[in-house]
Amino acid sequence: MSQSSSLLVLHLISDCLVKMIITENPYSGEKLGEYDEEDQGSISSKISRLRHSQLEWARDISTRLDALHEVKARFQARSSELARSITLEMGKPISQAEAEVKKSIWLIDYTIQTAQEMLNPENVKTEARRSYVRFDPLGVVLLIEPWNYPVWQVMRPAVPALAAGNAVVLKHASIVTGTSLLLEEIFGLDVFKSVVARGSAAENIIPMVDSISFTGSGQTGAKIASKAGSELKKCVLELGGSDPFIVLHNTNIESTVAAATDSRLQNAGQVCISAKRFIVHDGVSKEFGERLRDSFARVRIGNPMDPGVYLGPLSSAEQTKIVREQVSKLRDLGEVEELAHGLEGNFIPPTIANPHSEFKEEVFGPVAIVTTFSSDQEALRLANDSPYGLGASLWGNSEHAERLVPYIEAGMVFVNKKVTSDPRLPFGGVKRSGFGRELSRYGILEFTNIKSVWVD
């Protein structure tokens, strides 16, 4: 073979390699699946078909809600399979994967119950014979989603967007490609399709759709926003967070520590709204610190398929490397204590860091950063001293805590409860945590053309 033809073969092989997505179990390292990446031509024809199906889907809301009833039944029937797929692909403990699927079914149910009322036209009194606002669909909505809640992250925008009469094209994170395709199968609708593509290819889909909902890191969010901006497409961005967890002097330490443990260690800390910075009144910081250490040390770690395990591995070797590097940076800034030893592979032990200077990165792993304060003003300054503004929680006397709420720079503030997403409340952030809202009436309206009508 001549040198140029062998180079051609090498190119073809490397092209083939580039076009394949391989998924693997982050706990065992076992290969799970191999998927051909779709090229732009195939994605474009898929979107044309979605566009065609959307015209029929947009016609009548009661037909759509009937179809969502069937979707709900299919999710219920296949919930164990879906939970298993989550755990295998990204390592979340099976009990938490089951809870994720259950919550997703709640969202379908809630949407079926409320969408009609949320989308009803609104009469507005003017000099017109009749004037009102209609909420019409936008067309095809592109969802670009991360791996940390492979089902819930998709449902959060997909179910309201569908109920509002849109079609949905999903570009999921590559490491959960199996779950993405399973979702397409369970939705079983002509107006919901997944595409198998790497992140870098997803930007090229933006010109083909009418609106984008992105959940993921700020870095990628900025690229999507800039591409969407250049195409003048509407987008909702749900980005990272470094939520403060403020412990006032008048809190119940026992229940606060239990919530702190759950909020920081659930899903191995890979949660946008998990408490990441613990800002503790110096009158209770000693007791809080000791109890948090005990609580972190008691957590059961191991095979995520074991129903009794609470802390599994991180979702990938890449993610583990990032968090290990962050822990090493935190060591340079102060004391760091690991509360489990001898872990291998993609495990990161529950860790508590007490840096003596600020650390502004989002840590997407089971690492609590603890600092102290002595006045409300100082607590607020520390809480707001972050590029992010997703959620925040306050722990203590509820009247005292509520007085601080207006001064907190976050999209969601919870008092004596960990920050959580709830279909009934808007979800989203300010600052580098993004813009726009998901869930509740505010969320469904993001996927509509708010159309003013004047009739004389």
Which residue ranges make up the site for ligand NAD (CB under 6 A)?
144-148, 153, 171-174, 199-200, 202-203, 215-217, 220, 223-224, 238-241, 272, 362, 364, 390
Phi first, then psi: give them for residue 404, nearest 5 degrees: -90, -15
Task: Give CA–CA dist 73/261, Å, rounded.
Answer: 34
Residue 182 Cβ, how far from ligand NAD at the closest point, in Å? Answer: 16
The structure tokens listed for 189 are: 């609708």
The structure tokens listed for 18 are: 């580039």
Beta strands in 16-74 (DSSP E): 20-24, 31-36
Q: Which is nearer to ligand NAD, 196 or 279 (CB)?
A: 196
Residue with tokens 């399979």: 81
Residue 364 Cβ, how far from ligand NAD at the closest point, in Å? Answer: 6
Beta bridge partners of 247: 280, 395
Closest CA to 150 of 196, 201, 104, 199: 104
Task: Give CA–CA dist 353/336, Å, rounded.
Answer: 4
Task: Give CA–CA dist 44/21, Å, rounded.
Answer: 20
CB under 8 A, 24+ apart: contacts of 102-109: 103/152, 104/75, 104/151, 104/152, 104/155, 105/72, 105/75, 105/76, 105/79, 106/423, 107/152, 107/155, 107/156, 107/159, 107/423, 107/439, 108/68, 108/71, 108/72, 108/75, 108/155, 108/159, 109/72
Q: What is the dihedral of CA 380, 382, 386, 388, to 10 degrees?
A: -40
